[in-house]
Amino acid sequence: MSKRRRILRRSRLAQYVALVIFVATVIGGGLWVRGQIELLTGYPERPGAGSSAPIALEIPRGSGFSQVLGQLVDAGVIPQDEAIYFKLFVLHRGVASKVTAGDHTFRADMTPVEIIDELLRPQPAPERRVTIPEGRNILEVADILAAAGFGEREAILATMRDPKLLEELEIQGPSVEGYLYPDTYLMQRGATPEQIIRRLVARHRQVYANLRRQHRESAEELQRALGWGDREIVIMASIVEKETGAKHERPLIAGVFLNRLRFASFQPKRLETDPTIIYGCTALVEKSPACEKFEGRIRRIQLRDPDNPYNTYTHEGLPPGPITNPGKDALEAVFEPKKSRFLYFVARNDGTHQFSKSIAEHEAAVEKYMRQGAVGDGSAAGSIDPDAP
């Protein structure tokens, strides 16, 4: 046999062998696919063989499906020998990229359909929006945080009064009152009361530091004239915050209180402001006997109460601490009060106040607006319930 014939014969043999291998591969592949189809028949609705005990899993943000499948296998939700079937089922459904990150709960007896439904379940937003309005004290802030799901009210209040936390935050006084800056925050859902309080205090410090830099000369004047530091400015701002909701009045009201403390002719130097009495009768842990009888309206017994340390009708100067958490406008009003000769003010019926320079003018204004049904403030003359004991 010639060399050429031998080469042709070998070539045909190789082609035959390749053809046989190809046909065998096709047939084998077809049989394998058919076998997988038979195995997958009824698979989506087949319950798992495990228990019904809940299995909590957190799917990290950005996880690929292979990572998620590994978590399910490791946790016992899907048996190792069925992982390939579950993967094929997920790919067939086209949902591999739609798994939601977050907390999921599974069981080992779930069907593949149920497992996929849980993997695709929408998750709550990781953050929650919380608004702390201006003029809210710690009791009211605790109510807001509790309603938003950040703990029990009493636990939040306990954190606000925690001596160790107050020392770390370098806050004088029995609580964080005055330093919980009113604003709208995005809070992580799992945030603890301490984490939230630290954040609100940090925000206060940021805003206050900026204002103090802007009004450096005013801050220095308050130090020279009254011996005030940062805490005294916050206390006064908290009173201004509670005295009016009218933004344009805040600098004028701050000026009135500062006049009472500065003017040598004004004696005794009592601020005589109702919100301080109310704070002492509602927000303090230990209350005076007169405050124990407080029912929402100031009466003579509370007005004349010397045992309420926040009673600015019986104690001169500032109260021991802030009575609410002031916002930027109230803080700025103390740094830049409006100059005037006013020493008194009384509430009118339209949300604003009537200001007076003398006690005679003030008493006339009190008489006028009390006849119209307004509640007075700024002095005892406008605060007493005339029918109260």
Q: How confident is the model at residue 8 (pLDDT cuts 50, 70, 90)?
A: very low
Q: pLDDT at position 386, please?
A: 37
Q: pLDDT at position 165, please?
A: 97
Q: pLDDT tens, 198-249?
A: 999 999 999 999 999 999 999 999 999 999 999 999 999 999 999 988 899 9
- Residue 354 DSSP SS3: strand
Q: pLDDT tens, 318-364?
A: 999 999 999 999 999 999 999 999 999 998 878 899 999 999 999 99
Q: pLDDT at position 162, please?
A: 97
Domain boundaries, the chain: 3-41, 45-119, 128-207, 228-382
Question: Cα separation of 353 and 338, whole Å?
Answer: 15
Q: pLDDT at position 235, please?
A: 98
CB 88 within 8 A of CB 33: no
* DSSP secondary structure letters along 38-104: HHHTTGGGPPPSS----EEEEE-TT--HHHHHHHHHHTTSS-GGGHHHHHHHHHHHT-TT-PPPEEE
The CATH fold of domain 45-119: Dna Ligase; domain 1 (3.30.1490)
Q: How confident is the model at residue 36 (pLDDT cuts 50, 70, 90)?
A: low
Residues in the chain: 389
pLDDT at 59 over 60: yes
Provide φ and ψ at 33, rounded to 5°: -60, -45
Report the sign of the C-alpha dihedral through residues 212, 215, 217, 220, in that order.
Answer: negative
The CATH fold of domain 128-207: Dna Ligase; domain 1 (3.30.1490)
Q: How confident is the model at residue 196 (pLDDT cuts 50, 70, 90)?
A: very high
Q: pLDDT tens, 89-142?
A: 999 999 999 999 889 999 999 999 999 999 999 887 778 899 999 999 999 999
Measure the CA angle with vertex 284, ends 282 and 285; round to 5°: 115
Mean pLDDT of the 57-64 span: 90
CA neighbor of 198 nearest in space, from 240, 133, 150: 150
Please indicate whether the domains covering 45-119 and 128-207 agree at the CATH topology level: yes
State the chain's mean pLDDT as an integer. Answer: 87
Q: pLDDT at position 20, please?
A: 40
CB 335 within 8 A of CB 218: yes
Percentage of residues in the chain having pLDDT higher than 90: 74
End-to-end CA, the chain: 137
Q: pLDDT at position 31, please?
A: 41
Q: pLDDT at position 4, please?
A: 53
Q: pLDDT at position 263, please?
A: 95
Q: pLDDT at position 370, please?
A: 76
On whether the pTM is more than 0.85, the answer is: no
